[in-house]
Every structure is written in structure tokens, then in C-alpha cells.
Structure 1
Amino acid sequence: MLLVDNFCQVVITAPQHADEYLEILMAVKGSSKEKRLASQFIARFFKHFPTYADQAIEAQLDLCEDEDIAIRKQAIKDLPSLCKDSKDHTHKISDILAQLLQAEDSTELAAVHNSLMTLLKIDAKGTLSGLFSQIINGDDLIRERCIKFVTSKIKSLGHEVITKEVEDYLITECKK
């Protein structure tokens, strides 16, 4: 808990706080409470540490695979935040979420759907590219669930999300 207290006292905007961010990334191996806080803090301060983007995504992915469903749902919920300020990682995050569509628990699956919808609103084309990556390369269950997600959820999004460019991309990918 000392780590959290110390970290919260610091304004995270400068490279001199990289050690604290690395401690947060390591907290994904800690207790349940540390893992939940780590998930939230990884997402919250992600934009300030682009050097550690890959490590942060991997740490968040570790939390998405945790044995505790509450931690998994928290990590899934926090994934779209990694793309809020930069769309560079949208494809990868969408690909991860697409793989998580194989979840059997209905509440976990709902969290995945909500995160994908949030991600679509941040970067529709990048999100769709991650989904189509799994449609093309994923196993049968993931492919089926990605197709079901795309066909059932996309139509509920307005033209501010599904622009002409995104629509053209969708058509091109569907023809493959």
C-alpha cells in the first residue's frame, strides 16, 4: 500500500517518475488489491510513459488472464483507456479483446463487449482491424464470436462512429 500512497503523491508527467511506473507494472504480480489498483494506474498514466507502452500492455494482458474474475473484468474495463490519448495501440488492444470474446462467464463477456464498444468510439477503423485479424486468423470459436459481435453491435453505432471511411473499410474486409 505504501507504493500506492507514494505514487499518488507524485504528479506523473516527467521521466523522473519512470521507476514508480515500473513498480506499478510489477504490481500485477502482487495481491488482489494491488492487481486491481495496478490495472487502474497502468491505464491512467499510460500516456505519460510511451517508452513502457509494450510492457504496460503486457502487464494489462497478464491481468486479463488472472484467475480472479474480478481482476480480469477490471483489466478488461481498463484496456480501452490505453487508446484514449493515442490510437497507436488500438489494433493490438482490439485484437486482445477479440480473443477475450471466448470468455464463458456472461459478466466477463459483457465487459469485453463494453470495452470493444468503447474502443470503437475511440477508433472504429483500428478496432475493426483487430476484430478482422481474429476473424481471419483466429480459431473457430473466436471467429464466430467476432463475426457475431460485428454483425450485432456495429449497426447500433451512428454515422459519427461509422464514417464513410470506416464503412468502406468494413466492406473491403468483408469481401476477403
Structure 2
Amino acid sequence: MKKFDHYFSNHIAVKTELESATIVDYYNPEKGYEYNLRYIFDKKNSSLAITGDFGELVARNFYNMGEWDTFYKHYTGNLGYFLEKLLCSTRPVHYYDTDKAKREILNAFFDGADYDDLDFDDEFLLDQLFDNFDEDKGFTYILPDAFERFSEDMEEYEVYEFLNTAGRYVNEVFELYLDAYKRAYEYLKKEEKHD
């Protein structure tokens, strides 16, 4: 992806093959820790650990996470599938955007009306609802009045699910992990052809 090019100019990849693990290092040899990533594929436990300048994570799947070439085929083009396999990460998987959440709520429960076109009660309800919105967590509390108002259009559990994901988007660092691995893998394959 072009949006990550500036991180990875002059990077090289080095693969270390061990009996029960494969390690792929992706780094700029002229720099120290800056923008480097290490992918540790555990063949025995079919898991992956990523460490480096952008954070750390552990992911596991029962058959295709521990092999460096299978990982490339199954995951580099499928962010959603990769995210399903995460066990832990030092970076949050999702962030929440206030404006996006407001647009989604206005579209779902107010027929796409603009905030300024709402009546006083609906404006007040939205203002109170967004007093409990955090861009790291989404809604931290959902008012009973909001459930009551929004349940006119859907079931209460659907309202909860909707508000739980309103404004949510994936942290770009996870795209970066996959993009960097794609670059490292393709670098290694190109090097293999030259040998």
C-alpha cells in the first residue's frame, strides 16, 4: 500500500529457519530499531508473534498461522480474517470516530436528518448520548432514554449492537503489519530467484 511506503524505503528482509519456528525480520539496515518488524512463526503451535517499532501482537489459528508462506497466501489480502485470529495486541484493534458515529445514528434512527434539523428533544438525547462517547472505546454508557427512543425502530439487542459499533474503524497499524509482511515476503522470494 502506498500509504506505508515512507516507512519501508530501503528495507530488507532476512529469514531465519529453525526446527520449530521461522523468523522473518524486515528492517532498514542503516537504521536501528526505527520501523523494523519481526515476524515469528511458531510451527509447532501454529501461532504468530509480531514485534517491533509499531507494537506487538500474538495471533493463532489451528493450521495456517505457523508457516511463513501459508500466512502470506491466507492473510496478507484479508485483514478481517487476520483480525479474527488475534489473541492479544499492545495496540487497540479499533478506534471510534465521533462524527462517523453521529452520521450512522442519524441515518439509522432519524431518517438521515442533519443534527441541526432535529427537534429539541432529539438533539438533547444525542447530546447526552455523546457525553458518554470515547474515541478509544466508543459508547461507555448508553442511556435508557436512548434505548427507549431507538427501540422504536429495532429490537433492544439490535440497538445495543448498533451503538456498540457506531463510528468504529480498524486501527491502521494492522493493515501496516500485513503490508510490511507482504513486502518482506516478496523481497525474500525475489532474493530466492537470484540465488
The structure with the largest alpha-carbon Rg is 2
Higher relative contact order (CA 8 A, sep 6+): 2
Which has more helix, going by share of residues? 1
- Of Structure 1 and Structure 2, the greater strand share is in 2
Is the TM-score greater than 0.5?
A: no
Q: TM-score, normalised by structure 2?
A: 0.24
The TM-score with structure 1 as length reference comes to 0.26
